[in-house]
Amino acid sequence: MKTGYYFCIVTVVLSILSGCNTHKEKQAAGVQFDNSWLEEMTIKNLQQGYKDGKYTVSEVVSAYLGRINEIDKTGPSLNSIIVINPDAMKIAEALDREKAEGKIRGPLFGVPVVLKDNIDTHDKMPTTAGATILRSSFPKADSPVAKKLREAGAVIIAKSNLSEWANFRGNASTSGWSGVGGQTKNPYVLDRNPCGSSSGSGVAVSANLCMISIGTETNGSIVCPSNNNGIVGIKPTVGLLSRTGIIPISYSQDTPGPMARTVEDAAICLGALTGIDQLDPKTIESDGKYLSDYTPSLKRDGLMGKRIGIIKNSGGFSAKVDELMRQAVSDLKAQGAFIMEVEEPRSSAYENASYEVMLYEFKDGLNKYFSGLGKDSPVKTISELIEFNKSDSIELRYFDQATLEKADKKGDLSSPDYKKSLEKMQLATRKNGIDSLMNSNHLDALIAPTGSPAWKTDLLLGDHFIGGSSSLAAISGYPAISVPLGFVENLPVGITFFGRAWSEPVLIEIAYSYEQATKHRKAPEYLVTD
C-alpha cells in the first residue's frame, strides 16, 4: 500500500483555494499542501514550473525535505539518507534571489540533488563512506563533482547511505548497510535489498526524495542499484568525470555517475559534470572526447539502424528475466535495430586480475585520501582503520573486514604482481573484449540483463546475488547505462547498454529510444511482505 503523503490541511474557504494558482499562493492562504505533486517530476518540467512562476526553488526544496522526513525517516523508513544539508534552504533562497535578478546558473538550476556519502563536500555535512571512523570528517574542499553541481545551479540537499567503504570491506556483506547509516530498504518491497554500493542514491531517486542523485561505481555500484530500484543509471567511461575528492577503491575502475528516473534527466546531469581535472590524470584522456551537453543524443528514433550485440549466456539466472529480455529484443527490433548474439571472453580471464588490482589500489588510494584530510584525519593508514574497527561496537557486529586486511598486506603500485594483473584485466576486457566484439561485428552497442530481481535483505548471511552483467564494462573502464526492463512480480529489473570508451552519446541515443518506446518505469509502492 502506498504511504500517505499528506500534511495537515488547515481549513480555508474553498473560494480562496480556487483562486490560488501557485504553491506560494496556497501557502500564503494558510494551506499546507501534500507533496505528491513532486512524484516523477522531470528536470524539464521542474524548470518550466520555475519559468512560469508556479513555484520557487525554496518551495521545491522544502517539499523534498518534507518527503525525506515523511518517507525516509518515518513512514516506510527507507533509511536512504545519512544526513540532510542544514543549509539547503539557504541555498534555495539564494537561487530564488538570483532568479529574481534574471540570473539562471545552468542546466541544473533549482534541481535538488543527493550525493553518495563517499563524495566530498565542503559544507556542514561530513563525508563518511558510511564508516563510523569518519563520522565527524569534514573535507577541506568540494570535490569537483560537488563544485560542478553547484555551478550548474543544483541544490545538494543531502547525502545518501551506501554499502560501507563502497562494499569493499569484508566477506558476506549486505548491500546498503553501513555503520553510520544502518540498513537501506528497497522502496518496492521493503524487506528486499536495494543493491549497492550506491544504495541510498538509487532508493532516494526511485522514491522521489530528490530529482537526481550521484552514485559511484567500481563494479556494479551504479547499475545494480538502478536495476533493483527501477531507475536509470549512467556509469561513464573512467576519466569522463573527475574522481578527486571521492573516497576510492580503484584508480583504474572508479567513476561517479548520475542516477535518475529518466534517461533525459541522467543525460542532462552527465553534461554538467564533465571536464578535465588536473588532479585526476584519467580525465586528461577525455580531452576532445567529453561533451558539456548530451541532450542532442535524446532521439526517439535513436535505435533506427543500430547494430546491437546481445551477450550470449548473460542471462540464465532467472527465467522471468530471460523472458523480459526476449521481449526487449523484440522491442529493439521494432524500433529498427539489428540484434545478433555475441560471446564475451571468459570472466575468469579478467575478474580475478581485477580483484588483485583493486586490493593494491584500495590500499594506495585510501591511504592517500586519509593523508589529504591532514591533521584532522582520525586515522592515517588502512592499518590504523583495521585496528579501530576491532575496538568499535558497531563496525564488526555483522560483517568481518577481510578485504581491508587483504589490501593492507599488499605492496605499492610498483609491484610486478600489480602491473601484471592490471595489464591482464585491461587486455581481456578492452582489446580482446569489448573492442574485439564490437569491431569484428560492426556493433554500435552491447546489451545484457543488468541483474536479477532484488533478493531479501539478510544481515546474517549477506547478499544473495545470483546474476548480473556489470563486470565487462566496469573492469574495462568503458561506459554502461542501465534502463528499466520491466517487473518480476512487484520488483523492477533493468537492461544494460554498454560499448566502447567515450561512446556515451550513442549509448544515450539507444537507451533513450528504448526507454521512450517501452516506458517501464513505475513509482514504488512500499509494499510489505506478508
Domain boundaries, the chain: 1-34, 35-518
Report how far residue 390's alpha carbon sits from residue 259's, in angstroms, rounded to the nearest whole number.
35
Report how far residue 513's alpha carbon sits from residue 80's, in angstroms, rounded to the nearest whole number.
30
Q: Which residues of the chain have pLDDT under 70?
A: 1-33, 530
Report how far residue 235's alpha carbon sits from residue 257's, in angstroms, rounded to the nearest whole number.
5
Residue 439 burial class via C-beta count within 10 angstroms: exposed 0-12, middle 13-18, buried 19 and up: exposed
Helix/strand/coil for 65? helix
Exposure string of 206-215, with b = 16+ CB inside 10 Å and e = fewer, is bbbbbbbbbb
pLDDT in the model for residue 530: 57
Report how far residue 475's alpha carbon sits from residue 354's, in angstroms, rounded to the nearest whole number.
7
Look at the block and give the residue holding cell 546558473: 105
Cβ-Cβ contacts under 8 Å for 237 (sequence gap 6 or more):
255, 286, 289, 477, 478, 479, 501, 502, 503, 504
Of 185, 210, 218, 209, nearest to 199 by C-alpha is 185
Strand ranges (E), 297-355? 307-311, 338-342
Residues labelled as active-site residues? 116, 197, 221
Q: State the CB neighbour count (10 A cutoff) for residue 326.
A: 12
Of 475, 478, 485, 524, nearest to 352 by C-alpha is 475
Helix/strand/coil for 116? strand
Of 493, 499, 497, nearest to 510 by C-alpha is 497
Of 210, 241, 215, nearest to 228 by C-alpha is 215
Residue type, position 469, single letter: S
pLDDT in the model for residue 3: 34
Does 226 sit behind a cis peptide bond, omega within 30 degrees of 0 on the bond before it?
Answer: no
The angle, 0 to 180 degrees and rounded to 10, between the axes of the packed helices 88-100 and 57-67 is: 160
Q: Evaluate whether 218 touches 366 at the Cβ level (below 8 Å).
A: no
**In angstroms, what is the C-alpha Rg of the chain?**
22
pLDDT in the model for residue 1: 34
pLDDT in the model for residue 349: 81
Helix/strand/coil for 24? helix
Look at the block and give the residue holding cell 536495476: 227
Q: State the CB neighbour count (10 A cutoff) for residue 367.
A: 20
Give, in order, the Cα–Cα distances in Å from 452 to each of 1, 150, 217, 224. 24, 35, 18, 9
Report how far residue 345's alpha carbon sits from residue 409's, in angstroms, rounded to the nearest whole number.
30
Cβ-Cβ contacts under 8 Å for 100 (sequence gap 6 or more):
none
Give me the CATH code for the 35-518 domain, please: 3.90.1300.10
